[in-house]
Structure 1
């Protein structure tokens, strides 16, 4: 696993980065709550509950909207307000994702922390329990009582070795901003989003990817893509502190890619684990590789 606490930024290939990437997880099971997965806003509500619980132990400076004065920084600052930019105007990605799945009649919630964000795993696990017990906001307050909690850590992701084609099934709505043919659908924009996200996650870990990014981004234009089973979703999420509803959107479906995929294979692997597109922190852009060669 990369030791980034005091080291200068290391330059490695995307495959090397994958092989050493540490991901820490806390998973809780909430009985009788499986029906929540039908609501596309449910992960945003879980995020809100977790954020409020983490904010309780945040530094006074962060609670006042200022940089954290704790050393090391509090979990709320590190996860909700990561410092730095990938490039001017492009902030660093949040070093976590939230996933929710059904398990029998229960809801299984998993928080993944990337790289050094894993140092906060215990605090995040405790805050998640408190937040779920306090409840998820909405038209009606939903309180959840987890009956089980587990922690785990993995080091390394495998490159699937994609070369010519792959099908990606999106499990949560995908949103791609600034695509050439509108949101959701332009395959090249999906690949470019994966490349940018990998760059940001590497920088969060103190790593600089040894890659010809202009050439990679240009090569996405030669990849053919077709969407099937598309289901565009629209919903709103509540911004509690802003006291307003925020419009949300995204597309479910299968994206079938064909072309020279070898340069993009490790980026697709990372995106499968850590999602892709916009608003990932609200659970969007989660997919599974269904088949590929």
Structure 2
């Protein structure tokens, strides 16, 4: 078992709201600002060099680069899963929801994260700073069931503690798995994104396992060791068939770099074929971890639509 908590956050719009075609960057930006406000004692512009960085919830959740000592890139231990792709117009008084995940040690800072989310509505979403109110928090459990935690519109509602645990599932005997990419998958080779026509099973599976291996290394000490050498034959032997993929283009504005950054990726469906049995635990777990670049923005999310019985 290892610590992972998946929350569904439900807000009520206090004004008409208009989200862009991909809301992951907008949600991440407002969350980061709010988390800094509720947890940063020094109120510095930069975490690096701060004496409190090792115990700061903001640094631990949102700025893991400030905690690193160089070497490989340290992923942040959270994922925001925004709405489905497409411009989303939300009328005043309407409820809207999205998911927020915390991994490993960061689960211990969940109260700070929820406090931050509760204040994002007052700060305002979207570039128009339209306001909303957090009204409900539910936990989505590993079996797909939904467990209510907080109901802020019902004073008599009972509150519950989240049960932050997950497990790497056992292998499933199979030689084919259907995948649906629901948010843009961005995998890069030599600084260039892999386009739909060039995506290979090796690209996808290597990124999948590396992401979980990296998260385990930096955040999840209880995650079972990833034996990449044992998985390599299955990764190298897999192939993609029945692909119906397209490129989804979008960009986010970086306030640090003062420019727009292209973050397009691959969406659509495909089937993985090969000796996939040893990879199925990572394929199943990867639905929460996501795959590829900018996973914190919700990119690289996929569904497993079918696991075939082995022929």
TM tier, smaller: 0.7 to 0.9
Q: Does the 8 Å contact 1:232/1:251 carry over to 2?
A: yes
In structure 2, distance between residues paired with 1:225 and 1:23: 30
Distance change (3 Å), C-alpha of 1:193 and 1:137: same
Which residue among 43, 46, 54 is the counterpart of 2:35?
54
| Residue deviations 1:212-256 (CA, integer Å, cap 9, x gap) | 423523541210113533231111212224332221101111121
- Cα-Cα RMSD: 3.0
How far has the Cα of 1:269 moved from its partner?
Answer: 1.6
Distance change (3 Å), C-alpha of 1:109 and 1:231: same
- 1:78 and 2:38 matched: no
Q: Could you tell me the TM-score, scaled by structure 2's length?
A: 0.76
How far has the Cα of 1:61 moved from its partner?
Answer: 7.8
Which residue among 254, 257, 279 is the counterpart of 1:239?
254
Which blocks of at least 5 consecutive residues in structure 1 are unaligned? 1-19
Q: Relative CO higher for 1 or 2, CA cutoff 8 Å, sep ≥ 6? A: 1
Pairs within 5 Å for 1:241-260? 241-260=256-275
Distance change (3 Å), C-alpha of 1:230 and 1:54: same
- 1:206 and 2:221 matched: yes
In structure 2, distance between residues paired with 1:101 and 1:127: 20
Q: Does the 8 Å contact 2:178/2:304 carry over to 1?
A: yes
Which residue among 164, 177, 181 is the counterpart of 1:166?
177
How far has the Cα of 1:275 moved from its partner?
Answer: 0.8
Aligned residues: 269
| Residue deviations 1:18-50 (CA, integer Å, cap 9, x gap) | xx122124432123599867711x111111000
Which blocks of at least 5 consecutive residues in structure 2 are unaligned? 85-89, 139-148, 150-161
- 1:182 and 2:194 matched: yes
Q: Secondary structure at the match of 1:189?
A: helix
How far has the Cα of 1:92 moved from its partner?
Answer: 2.2
**Higher Rg:** 2
Distance change (3 Å), C-alpha of 1:99 and 1:162: farther
Structure-2 residue corresponding to 1:21? 2
